[in-house]
Structure 1
Amino acid sequence: MAQGSLFVCFLNPLVIMCLWNLRMIYYSTLNAGNGEVYTWGWKECIPSGKVLGEPAVDKEVNDGQSSFLAQQVSPHPQGSRSTVGAVSGIETRAGEDSAKRRRVSSAKQQAESSSSGDEGLSALPCLVALNPGVRIVSVAAGGRHTLALSDIGQVWGWGYGGEGQLGLGSRIRMVSSPHPVPCIDSSSSLRKDRAMGLSHGCPGSEGQGLRVPGNYVKRIACGGRHSAVITDAGALLTFGWGLYGQCGQGSTDDELSPTCVSSLLGIRIESVAAGLWHTVCISADGDVYAFGGNQFGQLGTGAEQAETLPRLLDAPNLENMHVKVVSCGARHTAVVTDDSKVFCWGWNKYGQLGLGDVIDRNIPSQVSIDGHVPTNVACGWWHTLLLAESPT
């Protein structure tokens, strides 16, 4: 197995750590690999559930020191496990007791803050309670909402939904527990007033609902206030905030339910990423399509004009390139090609493009990675991480 290296883009990419078998990069929401999901951070985005800590601490809190935790815990079919190890390096009993009291006090304060409705942060991972038998294989975290994808292609959502980013058909401001998102049914039909490219193969006749191609969802992505999913047939659906055209529906309307991006029908979409105001997707042919806000060049079109419909990037730097990975930050974008080239564009105030300066780019610009083979990339709001392997 080749050794994996993690790079952070700060003006120029720097190796910050080396790990064996490093494959995925997560933040705020974690798929544990056994079908369970953990979340942490802003409590508004965390479903009601148990704050995990030391096993002994959990027992004491549940035994009466916090009625809130006892009321909020939902049983999980496989049971729950703590991800925080026991305190180590404490030499005396007094020290152990003191540490335990501090942790109990911290857990109690967090619980009381949640029960009183105060906004705050959860520093410890919380196990998300789902229906029995639901096994999660992928998660995506947005600005204030979360989507999770099960092993049978069902999408679940929770958090803030005021712009429709949860896809539940209305402007629900708060969903405190996971709800199924109806992506492939009659409510997820094509927008008939905007339908384009129907000759590419979406069944239906005038006056009838047009069914979304596919039987289940295989990819999910969350932006600041919008979401995107891809079906097994390669259809792209978007929902949520549309002010800058980031839903790709040809307008700036919000989409309250998952809606097929009809201009891409006939083009099999394999991957999608969402930023604060923009969306970028990759086709099976390795082409890149971008739409939404473009104030900092994050679409890579060479201009600053927003795009309300998907636009194929035909930049010279991407000519004859087959893109396989895409990630979006708040206002920047990064891709990795089949031949392990990395391109970034958009906002660069903090050096997040890894180009050696802080100048914005409105076209894809290649990042130099000497002595390593890039395999994956992940953009944070204002930074970028790159996963690369050492040459064998």
Structure 2
Amino acid sequence: QNIGDSIDETGTDLPFVNLGTNASIDKIVMGEDHSCALFTNGSVKCWGESSVLGLGYSSSNGGFGDGYLETGDTLPFMQFPTGRHATMIEAGKSHTCAVMDNDDLICWGDNSKGQLGLGDTDHRGDATGEIGSNFAVTSVPTGRTIDSMALGWDHTCVVWDNYSASCWGGNDNGQLGLDSTTDIGDGAGEMGDNLDFIDLPGTASAITAGDGFTCAIVDDSGTDKAFCWGLNDFGQLGIESTTNVGDGSGGSMSSISNADLTYEV
């Protein structure tokens, strides 16, 4: 049943999502058919369609939240490695990533394009033995930690602690910002110190990812500007054209233009 499409389903009639006794929520993230909550104590619960794999409950059958006794205290917490809790979480279409309190990055869900960054295309969290202390850790460049991250349709992007940026996963439209359409993270030797940094005109303070494209706020000669790359069939890059950027055949990252957000009257 849809909620919010009738006058008697909003306001005081809008039901709250029961996530358990004394639940204190820091952040909610949503994918295509799943949602996850990061609690203030660093624990995480996810609900929605499990066949999309993003829930990470060692199952890809059915879902959580659509039936009796599937919410509240009955909705299970994510099983993270022993002694670890999450400090950051983001969701893509059908995958989810969390940064642990020791700066490890763990991701689960759909991995068909290498978006989990594990050097293969095997999904994680859809079978026993893949979560908890068995979670695979995504390899990042030596000495780097994650300042912020964004998950798109089938790719993952991060801003590092030195305000450089990297992306991996699906790259059909150049959304990884590498002037190619080669997926990254789906094969051996592509992550860790082999992961490329995106050629941006300055340091990045934030990044966000969509369906086939990515945008970042970049300090360009002392001014924060929006730079976008990847799919541009509807002008989503904001560069007054429909030419893709970063795919190796359209606009190149070395000559990337910022999105023109000025308006003259």
| Structure 1 and Structure 2 fold alike (TM over 0.5) | yes
- One-letter identity of the residue aligned with 1:337: V
The CA deviation at 1:352 is: 0.9
More strand by share: 1
Aligned to 1:162, the other structure's residue is in SS state: helix
- One-letter identity of the residue aligned with 1:83: G
Q: Is the 8 A contact 2:33 2:52 kept in 1?
A: no
Map Cα deviations across residues 132-168 of structure 1 (whole Å, 9 max, x no partner): 1111121111011111111111111001122531111
Output aligned runs, 1:160-175, within 5 Å. 160-175=49-64
Aligned to 1:130, the other structure's residue is in SS state: coil
Percent same amino acid among aligned pairs? 25
Q: Which residue of 1 aligns with 2:91?
A: 222
- One-letter identity of the residue aligned with 1:295: D
Output aligned runs, 1:348-363, within 5 Å. 348-362=232-246, 363=253
More helix by share: 1
Map Cα deviations across residues 3-42 of structure 1 (whole Å, 9 max, x no partner): xxxxxxxxxxxxxxxxxxxxxxxxxxxxxxxxxxxxxxx8
Moved beyond 3 Å, runs of 4+: 51-54, 263-266
Q: Which residue of 1 aligns with 2:17?
A: 128
RMSD of aligned residue pairs (Cα, Å): 2.7
Matching of residue 137 in structure 1 with residue 35 in structure 2: no
The partner residue of 2:11 within 83, 87, 95 is 83
Q: Is the 8 A contact 2:97 2:108 kept in 1?
A: yes
The whole-number CA distance in structure 2 between the counterparts of 1:159 and 1:253 is 21
The CA deviation at 1:259 is: 3.1
Unaligned runs of 5+ residues in structure 2 are 66-70, 126-130, 247-252
Aligned residues: 230
The whole-number CA distance in structure 2 between the counterparts of 1:358 and 1:179 is 45
Matching of residue 337 in structure 1 with residue 218 in structure 2: yes
The whole-number CA distance in structure 2 between the counterparts of 1:235 and 1:264 is 12
TM-score calculated relative to the size of structure 2: 0.77
Q: Is the 8 A contact 2:45 2:76 kept in 1?
A: yes
Relative contact order, higher structure (CA 8 A, sep 6+): 1
Map Cα deviations across residues 178-198 of structure 1 (whole Å, 9 max, x no partner): 43112332xxxxxxxxxxxxx
The partner residue of 2:100 within 228, 231, 250 is 231
The whole-number CA distance in structure 1 between the counterparts of 2:120 and 2:170 is 12
Aligned to 2:20, the other structure's residue is in SS state: coil
Map Cα deviations across residues 227-267 of structure 1 (whole Å, 9 max, x no partner): 11112333211111111101100011111135320344642
Unaligned runs of 5+ residues in structure 1 are 1-41, 59-81, 85-123, 186-213, 372-392
The partner residue of 2:144 within 264, 267, 270 is 267
Q: Which residue of 1 aligns with 2:123?
A: 254
More deviation, 127-136/229-238: 229-238
The whole-number CA distance in structure 2 between the counterparts of 1:238 and 1:251 is 13
The CA deviation at 1:274 is: 0.8
The whole-number CA distance in structure 2 between the counterparts of 1:159 and 1:337 is 35
Q: Is the 8 A contact 2:166 2:198 kept in 1?
A: no
Q: Which residue of 1 aligns with 2:250?
A: none
TM-score calculated relative to the size of structure 1: 0.54
Output aligned runs, 1:1-392, within 5 Å. 83=11, 126-176=15-65, 177=71, 178-185=75-82, 215-256=84-125, 257=131, 258-264=135-141, 266-308=143-185, 309-310=190-191, 311-315=195-199, 318-319=200-201, 321-338=202-219, 339-362=223-246, 363=253, 365-370=257-262
Aligned to 2:11, the other structure's residue is in SS state: coil
